[in-house]
Amino acid sequence: MNWEAAVRLVKQSKTPVITTHEMPDGDAIGAEVGLAEGLRSIGLNPVILNSHPLSPSNEFLSLDDEPVVFDPERHAKVLEAADLFIMVDANFWDRAGSVGEAMAALHKPSLCIDHHFPPADCATVNCASVEASSASELVFYFCEHLGAQRTGRSREAIYTGLLFDTGNFRFSNTSNRVHQIAATLIEEGIVAEQMYQKVFEHGTFERMKLFGMALSSLQIDCDGQLVWFLVTNEMFAESGAVPSDVEGFADMVRTIRGSKMVFMFRDTPDGVIKASLRSKTNDIDVQALAKKFGGGGHKRASGVTLQPPIFQAVETVLTEARKLLA
C-alpha cells in the first residue's frame, strides 16, 4: 500500500476536492466525509463534489450542504483552484460521472483510495486493496498515517461505511480488521444501536410500496438457485418512490432459501438499465459476470449498465448466469 506516497501528496495540498462514484452509497459517503474531516484536522480545506445527491440513508452525514452536487458552470472555478483531486470507492474517473470526467480533463495531481477489482491505477498515487471490506476501512488507515484527528462526524462516517459494505457485519468481507476498527470507534463514543437505526431504519411508505411491487415481479430460475426481480419506471410512478429508494432491495431478497444468486434490474432516469448482481457463495463470481457486460465491482456484489428494453437486458444477463450454474 502506497500510504507514504499518499501522505506526501496530501501534505503538499491545501485545497483538495474529493469525489466518489455516481449514486453514492453508504461506503462512498462514509469514506468521503471521513476523509474530509481528517484532512480538515491537519489544516487542509477540502471540498466534496459528487455527481448525484445523498440518498435518505446517508442524509444524517450531511453538514452545511456538504457533500455538494456538482454543477459544471457553478463549480468550474472550484476545480480550477484545487491542487489535488481525490477519488474514493471507485477506480475509474468516469465512474464518478460528470465531476470525474471534469477532473480527469484537468490532469492535476490525484489520489485514488479504493477496494474494487481491478485495483486502482488511475491516479498519481493509488491506494487500493481488494482485500479491504470497504473504502471507509482504507480511509480509516490513511487518516491514521496522516496523523489526523477523528471527530464525532468522522467516526459516524467511517462506521457507516463499514456497516453498509459488510451488511451490518454479516457478509464474508467482515474481517477481524473490520471488527477492530468498529471496536475503536465504539470505544470513542459510537453507539452501535443508534448507528444501525440511522443507516438501515430509514424506510418511507413509498419505498415499502415500491418494494412490494418489485416483489410482485419476483422470478426463480435454475431450480431456485437464481432469483431475479424488476423495478420499472411504472413502479416508480405508481409508488411515488425515487431511484435511491431501491438501495438494499437485492440484499433483502438474497435471504430466500436455496438461492445462490440474486439479480435486480431497474429502470433509471438516464434511460439505461442498471443490474445489481449478488452472489451468496464464493464459488460464484458475479464480478466476472459483470465484466462481460462492461460492469464491475466485487466477487459477490457487482453491477452493470445495460441498454433497454428491460426484458431484453434481463434475458441477456440470465443467459450468461445460467452457464455459471450449469
CA separation for the pair 249, 252 (Å, rounded): 5
Q: What angle do CA 274, 130, 59 make, to 5 degrees?
A: 55
> All domains of the chain, ordered by start, with CATH?
3-200 (3.90.1640.10), 205-325 (3.10.310.30)
Residues 166, 181 contacting (CB under 8 angstroms): no
For the full predicted model, state whether its pTM sits above 0.75: yes
Q: pLDDT digit of tens for each residue in the chain (326 aa)?
A: 889 999 999 999 999 999 999 989 999 999 999 999 999 999 999 999 999 999 888 899 999 889 999 999 999 999 999 999 999 999 999 999 999 999 999 999 999 999 998 888 899 999 999 999 999 999 999 999 999 999 999 999 999 999 999 999 988 899 999 999 999 999 999 999 999 999 988 889 999 999 999 999 999 999 999 999 999 999 999 999 999 899 889 988 988 999 999 999 999 988 999 999 999 988 999 999 999 999 988 898 999 999 999 999 999 999 999 998 88
Residue 203's pLDDT is 83
Rg (the chain; Cα; Å): 19
Residue 248's pLDDT is 87
Residue 251 exposed, middle or buried by CB count within 10 Å (0-12, 13-18, 19+):
middle
